[in-house]
Amino acid sequence: MTEPTAAWIDTAAGLSALLSRLSGSALVGLDTEFMRVNTFWPDLALVQLQADGPPALIDPIGCEDLAPLAPLLTNAGCVKIMHSASEDLVALAPVAGAPIAALFDTQVAAAFAGLGPGIGYQRLVQMLLDVEIGKGETRSDWLQRPLTEQQKLYAAIDVVHLPAMHDLLSGKLEQRKMLDWCQEDCDRLSAGPPPDDEPHLSFTALWKSPSELQARLRQLLRWREALARRINRPRAWIFDNALATSLVETPPADTDALASRMRGQRSFPKRELLPLFELLASPLTDEELELPPIPPPIRGEPAQLLAQVRDKVAARATELDLPPALLCPRRLLEAWVRGGQSPELAGWRGQALGDLLDR
- Per-residue pLDDT tens digits for 102-123: 999 999 999 999 999 999 999 9
Angle formed by the axes of helices 273-281 and 211-231, nearest 10° = 160
Q: What is the mean pLDDT of residues 10-19?
A: 97
What whole-number percentage of the chain has pLDDT above 70? Answer: 98
What pLDDT does 43 receive? Answer: 95
- Per-residue pLDDT tens digits for 276-335: 999 999 999 999 999 999 999 999 999 999 999 999 999 999 999 999 999 999 999 998
Per-residue pLDDT band at 96 (split at 50, 70, 90): very high
CA-to-CA distance for 307 and 291, rounded, in angstroms?
Answer: 29
Is the pLDDT at 139 greater than 80? The verdict is no
What pLDDT does 345 receive? Answer: 85
CA-to-CA distance for 227 and 265, rounded, in angstroms?
Answer: 14
What pLDDT does 138 receive? Answer: 65
What pLDDT does 1 receive? Answer: 53
Per-residue pLDDT band at 264 (split at 50, 70, 90): confident
252 C-beta neighbours (distance < 10 Å), count: 18
Per-residue pLDDT band at 136 (split at 50, 70, 90): low
Q: What is the mean pLDDT of residues 74-94?
A: 97
70 vs 345: which has the higher pLDDT = 70
Q: What is the mean pLDDT of residues 3-24?
A: 93
What pLDDT does 293 receive? Answer: 96
Pairing mode, strands 56-58 and 43-50: antiparallel
Which of 80, 73, 267 minimizes the C-alpha distance to 163?
80
Domains and CATH numbers, the chain: 7-191 (3.30.420.10), 199-289 (1.10.150.80), 300-353 (no CATH)
- Per-residue pLDDT tens digits for 194-237: 889 999 999 999 999 999 999 999 999 999 999 999 999 999 99
Which of 82, 97, 100, 75 minimizes the C-alpha distance to 24?
75
Give yes or no for a contact between 35 and 141, defined as CB atoms under 8 angstroms apart. Answer: yes
Is the pLDDT at 13 greater than 70? The verdict is yes
CA-to-CA distance for 29 and 161, rounded, in angstroms?
Answer: 8
What pLDDT does 2 receive? Answer: 65
What are the CA-CA distances from residue 91 to residues 45, 102, 190 (Å)?
9, 17, 12
Q: What is the mean pLDDT of residues 142-150?
A: 94
Give the total residue count for the chain: 359
CA-to-CA distance for 155 and 135, rounded, in angstroms?
Answer: 10
What pLDDT does 18 receive? Answer: 96
